[in-house]
Chain A
Amino acid sequence: MKRLRIKAVLILACCLIWQGVYWTGIYSSMIFPSLGTIFCALARDLVEGALVEQFIYSMRLVIEGLLLSIVLGLVIALMARSFSVFRSGIDLLISIAHPLPGVALLPLVILWAGIGEGAVLFIIVHSVLWPFLVSFFGALDRLPQTQQEVADNYEIFGWRRLIWVDLPGSFPGFLSGMKIGWSRAWRALISAEMIFGATSGSGGIGWYLFQKRVFMDTAGLFAGLVVIMIIGILIEGIFFRWLEKRTVIRWGMER
């Protein structure tokens, strides 16, 4: 509660500084709008639905991309645990693909897959899958030996071993992989939307920002940024926090 109060005070201070700079008139209000104007733009686009629509579009894409990556990640991890050759191949692929920024692949993706939603999903999956696998593999490799021996002792093998012992045992790594994956996916999505949106008009928050810049609606631009920040806080501070409380914190497994 105390930390919450400190945060509130800090945010208020930032707002005051912002408004102070605006009042000095150093910058033109065309590029440095007042808090009031930003708030009005935010309210207008929320009520008129433009921002809400783009928000829903972006969230749907990022959730689809995340789920797809997690399913793929689970299948790959399962295969890698069963076949050591497959594991070596995947390790090699991770070391090649992991450092490659998703945006760098955009021109190639446009060439191969066009500019539809499939291309955006491809970029998201690329951004999420590799860091997720690194984190998840790490946790699977570090499963405590005693736990594995207990599982051997009680003769639990195959998919039940995976679901009852290996997955919950590696859940901290799974979760931190998901968190890294989420932030990567969100960044990748916004960049991809800016580029794809500009060429195809398919929309999303990135496209919304891009349009605001083109039409010199600086207050609207800031409204878009505020929404992006709020989504970040909601997902990290509320959704993941909730998930952690129900799992790794309750189990005493957080690192």
Chain B
Amino acid sequence: MSGFRFESVTKTFGNEVIFRDLFLQGDPGSFLCVVGKSGVGKSTFLRLLGGFDQVESGRITVGGEPVTRPQKERPMVFQSYEQLFPWLPVWENTAFPLRVVGIDKSERRIKAMEALHAVGLEQDAEKYPHQLSGGMKQRVALARAWIAEPQLLLMDEPFGGLDMMTRETLQDLLLSLWREKKWTVVFITHDLREAARLSTDLLILQENGNWTLKMNELSRPRDPYSTELNRWIQDIQL
């Protein structure tokens, strides 16, 4: 678990400025949600932090170290269901980060079952991804990130394709894991209610490279339909 920093980061695509001079400090154990209209650069923000894209000027550090490339300490949970490998059973998908570092099969299996238990899928360990529903696939992706023992967990609209019920269940699951494991999470969403429910901090990305940071001190547990939460959402200017 580590914090992260954006120091005077600028990113452009051609003439379009995605963000200009972004300063941001994420404390260890914080839960940053990133919102903004589509095309405003939410994914770009996360891809920079993950090391999938490079900054033009300024620098990004995680736990004091500059980010230069993707690393397993910063696992990304994608929105796309293609993030699971269709030829591996659920438990081998979950244990994939361990396989890469050369941990043997029986130990991988034990760790994977532990992680699958945490996301409520130990019954489905032998299934293949195509036999799972969308919500179950995202649970597997979460278990896989969990097994990588993240310094920083990156989530790119992971619940974006799910129905309301499944989404709220997964939000609760993510929150309980976050509290238990004391993860630092950066979570992208286009759903303000989701952001209000999950975050400790909110980054609002706006057009022309502008951005606003907002604290979220609503008391937990947060009822997604309470008047308090609704009022908080109404204050947000996208």
> What's the nearest-Cβ distance from chain A to residue B69, in Å?
8
The stretch of A12-20, A142-150, A207-215 in contact with B is A142-150
B97 within 8 A of A: yes
B82 in contact with A144 (CB, 8 Å): yes
B100 within 8 A of A: yes
A252 within 8 A of B: yes
The stretch of B4-12, B73-81, B116-124 in contact with A is B73-81
Which of B50-85 touch A at CB < 8 Å?
Answer: 50, 52, 69-72, 74-76, 78, 80, 82-83, 85
Q: For B86, give its contact among A149, A155, A164, A252 (CB under 8 Å).
A: A252
Which of A160-204 touch B at CB < 8 Å?
Answer: 160, 164-165, 168-169, 171
The stretch of B126-134, B176-184, B204-212 in contact with A is B126-134
- A206 to B97: give the CA distance in the assembly, Å: 53
Which of A131-160 touch B at CB < 8 Å?
Answer: 144, 146-147, 149-150, 152-156, 160
Chain A residue contacts of B99, Cβ below 8 A: 164
A149 in contact with B129 (CB, 8 Å): no
- A150 to B148: give the CA distance in the assembly, Å: 12
Chain A residue contacts of B72, Cβ below 8 A: 153-155
B75 in contact with A153 (CB, 8 Å): yes
B87 within 8 A of A: yes
A253 in contact with B86 (CB, 8 Å): yes
- Count residues of chain B with CB under 8 A from any CB of chain A: 25
- A117 to B76: give the CA distance in the assembly, Å: 54
Q: For B85, give its contact among A147, A152, A155, A247 (CB under 8 Å).
A: A147
A153 in contact with B50 (CB, 8 Å): yes
Which of A144, A146, A247 has its CB near the most chain B CB atoms (within 10 A)? A146
- A250 to B86: give the CA distance in the assembly, Å: 9
B148 in contact with A154 (CB, 8 Å): yes
Closest A residue to B75 by beta carbon equals A153
- A169 to B83: give the CA distance in the assembly, Å: 12
Closest B residue to A157 by beta carbon equals B100
A83 within 8 A of B: no
B96 within 8 A of A: yes
> What's the nearest-Cβ distance from chain B to residue A150, in Å?
5
> What's the nearest-Cβ distance from chain A to residue B6, in Å?
20
- A160 to B96: give the CA distance in the assembly, Å: 12
- A153 to B69: give the CA distance in the assembly, Å: 8
Q: List 8 A-B contacts (CB under 8 A).
A: A146-B82, A147-B85, A149-B70, A150-B83, A154-B72, A154-B96, A250-B128, A252-B86
Closest 3 CB pairs of A and B: A252-B130, A168-B87, A144-B82
| Beyond A149-B78, A150-B85, A252-B86, 4 extra complex contacts between A and B, CB < 8 Å | A150-B96, A156-B100, A168-B87, A252-B131
